[in-house]
Amino acid sequence: MTAAISADRTAGSKYQDLPSAALASCRSAFLSVGLFSAVVNILMLTGSIYMLQVYDRVIPSRSIPTLVSLSIIVIAIYAVQGVFDWLRQRILTRIGAALDGALWEPVNSAILRSPLKSSRGGGVQLAHDLDSVRGFLSGLGPTTLFDLPWMPLYLAGCFLLHPYLGWTLVGGATILFGIALVTEILTRKPTREASRHAAIRNIQLEAGRRNAEVVAALGMERRVISRIGAANADQIAAQQRGSDIAGALGTLSKTLRFILQSALLGLGAWLVIEGQASSGVMIASSIMGSRALAPVELAISVWRPFVGARQAWQRLRDVLSSQDESPSAVAPERAQHILTVGQVFIVAPGGTKAIVQNATFQLKAGQAVGIIGSSASGKSTLARALVGIWPAVRGEIRLDGATLDQWPAEIRGGLMGYLPQDVELFDGTVAENIARFDPEMDGPAVIAAAKAAGAYDMILNLPKGFEMRIGEAGAALSGGQRQRVALARALYRDPFMVVLDEPNANLDVEGDAALTQAIKGVRERGGIAIIVAHRPAALAGVDLVMTLANGQVQAFGPKDEVLRKALASQHPANQVASQPVHEVRMTADGRS
């Protein structure tokens, strides 16, 4: 089953086909479950037939051998029924695992990409959605749904026993189906609201955990808990509304089923008195009616999980439909000559106004540019676009003539080194972080990157050196140490283009000197370095400077010339561009 899903997955080029393909690959397994359900439901008639034989044949004849023979046959049939019931539940569990295996990678990819496409967050909810779908398939819900279509079999059986019994059961079943329909309508909105509020609560909780130091230092704990508590209260209220509705209707359904079962027994007794049926018919109709209505009652009890799983599946389909996985069949050669940025406009995820407007420049191998400007001038935004984090909505960014999307993500990542403004490391060893968690870690390349970043001696002085585990977000390291390890990660395996966003924010004098040598090293080996800087020390190793203001390039050229012109003006990096601020409106598919 898993192999079939993998084959369908590689055949398609877009994630949007994957949920349907994964489900279609399980078709034969679902057919097996349907076949086993047919056998189970047919064998469920055993109890009614057994009681009919006991009351109409065994008791009148007082034949012990007949009773023993019937009992042995019934035990054997029930054993077979149990095996088939166990098999269908086992298959459904495997279907859940197979769907999880097929969707896990694209779902995690969507989670990792969600901050790059929306400022609202909440991507982790997709993992919970996948858990919800798998959990539902592993429970009693699917078997109940497979049993519902077999109700007509039991209705037909009651009609065969006596038409009055059949019509009584039809009337009761109609009422119970109506209750099930009302349950679906009334629980849909509370279930959706509960999921939404739970996602908001989880986002706020993660934000509080991530900023634990600020929360503790500024005494914000009670206020943060209060905000999380408000979202949690909304989630509980919505969940309670859904539970109250489902619980009330479920209790009503159970009560009506008991009444209906007793009504069938009473009607059967009346028919016996009137001489229209035997005692066996009376007992068999009661058992058959109970079995016919059991799936309806179970369906009502599992309706909330079913609605939740259905909504989770729809969210997965909606999100995965926007994930494009269509890498080029043939990737371009490794870039090693030139970076060209042509009339680029960049918009933040979920925004409409261009933060960077009409940026145009060119860098050749061996050059390094320092990007300076006031806060919110677009420096970090431009850096994100250059490494493909935020794609340009207009214009092009090319390496040796090829746009960034012509390379698969992993190959493109090998061409680039990136040090973000907010340094993030992962729980693992120093060596694993520098090697970008490459399963085929190149030890000499790790050492070379550490030396290029001027971090080799620093790492050797750590407990266990390169094998030291640094904890979540690099908590075991100081701010300067984290920045130098992250710089080594950016330089791992000599990427052609290295983009460093305020790389010396946490560095001391020794660190500044190491940064300058790292930039010169990139230039000497024929790479391109782009440095976003606020402190002048970061510009020591560059030969070009670009100034940005209001998202527009104000100057670009040799470092000494641009800085000399900047000194001639009082605040050159803070001057407001004469051109109006452009606004880029985006369509639903993300195009300008």
Written as six digits, the tokens of 284 are 């068999």
Confidence grade of residue 261 (pLDDT, cut at 50, 70, 90): confident
**Residue 370 · residue 544 · CB < 8 Å:** yes
**Residue 355 · residue 581 · CB < 8 Å:** no
Q: What span, in angstroms and rounded, lies between the C-alpha atoms of 311 and 317?
A: 10
Does residue 493 surpass a pLDDT of 90?
Answer: yes
Model pLDDT, residue 587? 40
Model pLDDT, residue 149? 84
pTM of the model: 0.69
* Backbone φ and ψ of 591, nearest 5°: -90, 155
Highest mean pLDDT among 205-214, 434-443, 507-516: 434-443
Q: For residue 522, which of 545, 494, 499 has the smallest C-alpha distance?
A: 494
Model pLDDT, residue 577? 37
Alpha helices, H only, 455-551:
456-460, 479-491, 509-524
Q: For residue 307, which of 175, 168, 183, 436 has the smallest C-alpha distance?
A: 183
Per-residue pLDDT, averaged over 509-522, amounts to 90
Per-residue pLDDT, averaged over 377-392, amounts to 92
Long-range contacts, 264-269 (Cβ 8 Å, 24+): 264/158, 264/165, 264/168, 264/169, 264/289, 267/164, 267/165, 267/168, 268/162, 268/165
Query: Which residues, listed in sequence order, are joined to residue 152 by a DSSP beta bridge?
Result: none
**Residue 519 · residue 551 · CB < 8 Å:** no
Alpha-carbon dihedral 404, 527, 556, 590, rounded to 10 degrees? 10
Model pLDDT, residue 576? 36
Q: What span, in angstroms and rounded, lies between the C-alpha atoms of 527 and 335?
A: 10
Confidence grade of residue 506 (pLDDT, cut at 50, 70, 90): confident
Per-residue pLDDT, averaged over 237-264, amounts to 85
Highest mean pLDDT among 57-66, 80-89, 151-160: 80-89
Question: Is the C-alpha dihedral spanning 429, 433, 434, 437 positive or negative?
Answer: positive
What is the tens place of the pLDDT at every residue in 339-367?
A: 999 999 999 887 889 999 999 999 999 99
Does residue 238 surpass a pLDDT of 80?
Answer: yes
Q: What percent of the chain has pLDDT over 70?
A: 90
Domains of the chain: 2-113+122-320 (1.20.1560.10), 338-574 (3.40.50.300)
Does residue 535 surpass a pLDDT of 70?
Answer: yes
pLDDT greater at residue 362 or residue 573:
362
Buried/exposed 209-247: b ≥16 CB within 10 Å, e otherwise? eeeeeebeeeeeeeebeebbeebbebbeebbebbbebbe
